[in-house]
Amino acid sequence: MSIDLAGRVLRSRTVAALASPHGIDRYLKQINPMWAAHEVRARIVSVEREVAVAGHPTVATVTLQPTSTWAGHRAGQHVSVGVEVDGTRRTTRVFSISSPDSHPGDRFTLTIRANPEAGERSVSTFLTERARPGQLVHLSQAEGDFVLPDRMPEHVLLLSGGSGITPVMAMLRSLQRRTHRGRITFLHFAQSPEHTIFGAELAEVARSGHGIDVHVLHPRQGDPYLSPAFLERLVPGYRDVPAWACGPASLIEAARAAYDGSDALRVEYFKPPRVSGTAGGSLTFTRSGVTVPNTGAPVLEQAEAAGLTPEYGCRMGICFSCTARKSDGVTRNILSGETSSLPDDDIRICVSAPDGDCAIDL
Amino acid sequence: MTHTTTLTPEQLEEFGAELDAIRQRIIADLGEADAAYLRKVVKAQRAFEAAGRALFYLPPAWPLAVASLSVSKILDNMEIGHNVMHGQYDWLGDPDYNSRMFEWDNVCPSEQWKYSHNYLHHTYTNILGKDRDIGYGILRMDEEQEWRPYYLGNPLYAFLLMVLFEWGVAAHDLEVDEIVAGNKTWADTKKLHAGLIRKIRNQVLKDYLLFPALTGPLFPLTFAGNATANLIRNIWAFNIIFCGHFPTGVATFAQEDCEEETRGHWYYRQLLGSANITGGKLFHVMTGNLSHQIEHHLFPDLPARRYPEIAAEVRDICRRYGLPYNTGSLSRQLGSVFVKIGRLALPGRGRRRAAQVSPAAEPAVAA
């Protein structure tokens, strides 16, 4: 109640006018980093290993205590997490939430597989292997429409592969908490029993769950992979059963093929970051929908050659007028030779030349 | 004054490469110390601001409140605002310190300032007819600006610009002089109006209505205190900034000399077109390290706290290439600026011009 009142005051127009132009959050965080009126941040409460197979990326569950500004989430949604990996440069990545539906200000968990290919600024490696309780992370609100409907169908199929289990596990946990009375078929593909995230919890659900059929399969060890015939055997008439699928591209493709365009299937998958170093390729201007062969010249010049008119100023990398978001690919700063390989990086297009395939938000 | 190149194209290229090397080295070294410094300055600024606002409740502490708020505004505009909006801290990835998102405690909208300052002024530094910071469209600050009877008021205009500096900066992008001259119309500035009005409204509402009102019966005192703090910031910023490009010995350039300019020549022009001020560490912080205007113009996107450490190297490079490095105490640089403002109020261009020598041939002005 009192917190609510404080929140309402802090979000009032009067306070906004008094704190102009910086905004009240930039004053509050000077006093306590967990105080916020608009922004969402969180403290790491704990980091628990889920999977630790030697020679394979770690999987860990990170429990977060968000600021009171966290609006809660629905199972299946994801959140952007920004961390200062080397103590300085903030990098932001999107992760699925693994805990059931949360209310405003509630703790929630992320279950993350480290992605060692993302390099030394890898957010996933930091969170799974180096993060310590008490550290602060920056969050967005929960996002995404890969969620269960308010009125649950009689029977649902939750389908996942590898670390794609995270959002569907959140759904399963929510349904258990809601004491869902209908049928749930939970089908998960993993490399091996040791690689299976939430293996113990799934075994427990399989043993005691009411109306929940759990199938954890290891195709590399001889189990069948996803196919229409297999699905039909498991869930007769499966095309009429609403399904939620999350996993690697191969699983999503197999699920799409099996459902043959039916809108009973909802999918979610994250594209792994791609590091390319080859010259050539193509340069895509995403907002204009224009793709041209990459000549290796600065993005600004190539955009102009393609008939676009991006904003620019000095054309020599000092004034930042032309800064644009690179959504994908690698660019090289032609003055310093620095490369930018992270997606969603802001680059000065007058001095940044693409290294192979590249997409710019222009 | 116009400038004649004394370095050969090859020398210019080497000169540029040496400066590029400094830049590379600093960029590779950016890290925690820079982030911690910025956060420390911001924390101090917020503390000065909060203290200033709070002390207005104690009438005897009024001078202290004004001093505290003045320091807050100076830090906000110079060491934080100016530098963050240059993109010096964009690499942090922190939206609080991103050049595209930062807004400062000043009536000029950051968006408009970035255009005239980061782009026009920093790209075309001291090129007559291109860099609108030469006299800001109000003053005669260079012999090459043709004298008109209007310029008899040069000292008066400079004084008014000093006390109203933030308003002058805000009006800068409207290019009122161009409207008066008939080169553009009021309607041409229309796209600037909404942003300008919004920013002015927010600043006025905060400093001249809400905070005074919060102190109840002390309204007039708080109002006057806020106005004084803004005035002190205006005077300080004006004086520091005028020492950056207008002291004696600073060169200006003709447009034709800068066509097809190489990177080396650009560095060369930035060096000859800027001047430093000597002083202690605290002084440098309070100027936003613009006391190192030369280093700032060579490397506008490097964090300003690095300028003092680069300065010795830049100076050494200048010595080796026989180029002047214009630096002096605040009183000396300001004195020469005031003399120039007065002198250029009067006609007398041709005679002086004949007496000019190329700045590159002049001995370096020692500190």
* Beta pairing class for A183-189 and A155-161: parallel
Q: Which residue from B minimizes the CA distance to A312?
A: B119
pLDDT at A147 over 50: yes
Query: Does the distance separating the beta carbons of A18 and B210 come in below 8 Å?
Result: yes
In the prediction, which pLDDT does B5 show? Answer: 52
Q: CA dist A206 to A165, A210, A214, A216, Å?
A: 16, 9, 5, 10
Is residue B279 within 8 A of residue B329, CB to CB? The reply is yes
C-beta atoms surrounding A219 within 10 Å? 13
Instruction: Quote the mean pLDDT of chain A.
Output: 90
Task: Give the number of C-alpha atoms closer than 13 A to the C-alpha of residue B61, restricted to the C-beta side.
Answer: 12
- Chain A residues close to B87, C-beta within 8 Å: 320, 323
Query: Quick check: bond before A21 cis, omega within 30?
Result: yes
Low-confidence ranges of chain B (pLDDT < 50): 1-3, 350-367
**The pLDDT of residue B87:** 94
Residue of B nearest to A87 (CA): B32
Residue B145, classed as helix, strand or coil, is: coil
pLDDT at B139: 95
pLDDT at B365: 38
A287, A297, A286, A288: which is closest to A349 by C-alpha?
A: A297
Looking at the predicted structure, is the pLDDT value of residue A349 above 80?
yes
- For the ranges A139-153, A345-359, B219-233, B346-360, the lowest mean pLDDT is seen at B346-360
pLDDT of A274 > 70? The answer is no
Give me the pLDDT at residue B23, please. 95
Q: Where are the beta strands (DSSP E) in A135-203?
A: 136-139, 155-161, 183-189
Q: What is the ipTM of this complex?
A: 0.89
Minimal C-alpha gap between A4 and chain B (Å)? 23
* A86 has a chain B CB within 8 A of its CB: yes
Per-residue pLDDT, A270: 62
Per-residue pLDDT at B1: 46
pLDDT for B349: 58
How far apart are the two ends of chain B, measured CA to CA in Å? Answer: 23
Q: How many Å lie between the alpha carbon of A27 and the closest alpha carbon of chain B?
A: 7
Q: List the single residue in B92, B104, B123 with the smallest CB-CB distance to A88.
A: B92
Residue A315: is its pLDDT beyond 90?
no
Mark yes or no for CB contact A313/B211 under 8 Å. no
Query: Is the Cβ of A18 closer than 8 Å to some Cβ of chain B?
Result: yes
- pLDDT category of residue A91 using cuts at 50, 70 and 90: confident
Residue of A nearest to B22 (CA): A336
Q: Quote the CA–CA distance of A105 and B152 in Å, as a whole number.
A: 65
Residue A82 C-alpha, separation from nearest chain B C-alpha, in angstroms: 9
Q: What angle do CA A141, B46, B244 make, to 5 degrees?
A: 110
How many angstroms away from the CA of B282 is the closest CA of chain A? 22
- Whether A320 contacts chain B with CB within 8 A: yes
CB contact under 8 A, B202 and A318: no
